[in-house]
Amino acid sequence: MNEIQEINIQLIDRPEPPVRLSLEDAELDALTDSIRDEGILVPLLLRRKGDRFEIIDGDRRLAVAFRLRLPAVPAVVRDAGDSETVVLRLLANLDRADPDPVSEAVYVSKVIASQVIEAGELAAKLHRGIDWVFDRLTISEMPDYLQDALRLKKIALGAALALTQITDERVRSDWTAAAVRDGMSVRAAEDALREFARFKDMHGANEDGAVLAELPSAPPLVMFECARCGERALLDELKIVRVHKNGCGDEKRG
């Protein structure tokens, strides 16, 4: 078991790159009150870099230590290489109650681009599917307005991943604004993406590659007919009925 040490805060550096792009004032205020009253109950996790130390986990606790002008903090020093550090930081971030998917995505993109770790190895060590890593790479390339909507929890991750596949910037921006304003389920976003693709296939594109301007500024509501009463409704309002895809009973034999 690693020994807990008291480490001078002047010798500790923030993670580079950080998993969290910014430290929210409200979070730091609450943590400051807690540490002022109770002290640092969970030691920071550090690794040695030359004559100094770098944070693996505990960025907010270090920030509060500086706020409170603490001379030292309790810490566990781990002999961790670059790839292990990446995994440990992401595991710590995933363990939080309210992780920021955008900061997480930017971090994943940076470490993969720097070739510290490959996408498949990262997914395996985090016990995630490779699609989880690819989704983070997609998030890191989203336009700012979609990232902001995700960060502020004004749109679901699945909906953002669907909307970002819309290739016309005007349509993507307008439909994202409508989703933030009116709400949008993942299924509705996927329906909107299909409608965009259908419209583009039907009408082609302008000379500059943009989809024709007739496409509405808000995503279309895709309606389906209820098999029982015939009334049209959104897919979210209907139940999925499972039937044999190759026919039932006599239909199969016939």
Could you report the per-residue pLDDT of 92-110, keeping only the tens digit for each? 888 776 778 898 899 999 9
In a domain, 67, yes or no: yes
Short-list 96, 151, 94, CA closest to 128: 94
Instruction: Of 70, 76, 78, 79, give the one whose Cα is nearest residue 9.
Output: 70
In the chain, the percentage of residues whose pLDDT exceeds 90 is 46
Any domain includes 7: yes
Let me know if residue 4 belongs to a domain: yes
Backbone angle region of 75, left / alpha / beta, with phi > 0 → left and psi within -120 to 50 → alpha: beta
> Is residue 43 in some structural domain?
yes
* Dihedral of the alpha carbons of 127, 131, 137, 141, in degrees to the nearest 10: -150
Measured CA to CA, the distance from residue 40 to residue 70 in angstroms comes to 10
pLDDT digits (tens, 9 = 90+) for 4-53: 999 999 999 998 878 876 767 777 888 899 999 999 999 999 999 999 99
Q: Does residue 161 surpass a pLDDT of 50?
A: yes
Pairwise pLDDT comparison (171 vs 240), residue with the higher score: 171
Q: Write down the mean pLDDT value for the chain.
A: 83
Mean pLDDT calculated for residue range 116-131: 92
Considering only residues 238 and 141, tell me which one the structure prediction assigns the higher pLDDT. 141
Sequence-ordered strand ranges (E) for 35-86: 44-49, 52-57, 72-77
The winner for highest mean pLDDT among 67-76, 165-174, 192-201, 204-213 is 67-76
Residue 232 one-letter amino acid = R
What range defines the domain where residue 16 resides?
A: 1-80
Q: What is the mean pLDDT of residues 213-232?
A: 62
Average pLDDT over residues 236-251: 64
Q: Is pLDDT above 60 for 135?
A: yes
The DSSP bridge partners found for residue 12 are: 53
CATH number for position 27: 3.90.1530.10
Q: Name which of 51, 124, 61, 132 is nearest 87 in CA terms.
A: 124
What's the domain count of the chain?
Answer: 1
CA distance 78 to 14: 15
pLDDT bucket at 122, cuts 50 / 70 / 90: very high
Contact yes or no for 225/231 (Cβ under 8 A): yes
What is the pLDDT, as a whole number, of residue 2? 73
* pLDDT for position 207: 47
In a domain? residue 41: yes
In angstroms, rounded to a whole number, what is the distance separating the alpha carbons of residues 66 and 91? 25
pLDDT the model gives residue 249 = 66
Answer yes or no: is 121 within a domain: no
Distance CA 240, CA 57 (A): 44
Nearest to 136 by CA among 84, 91, 100: 100
Stated pTM of the model? 0.70
What is the C-alpha separation between 89 and 108, in angstroms, rounded?
10
Query: By percentage, how much of the chain surpasses pLDDT 70?
Result: 79
Report yes or no on 102 lying in a domain: no
Digit-coded pLDDT (tens) for 162-199? 999 998 888 899 899 999 988 888 988 998 898 888 87
Task: Evaluate whether 219 touches 181 at the Cβ level (below 8 Å).
Answer: no
Establish if 10 belongs to a structural domain: yes
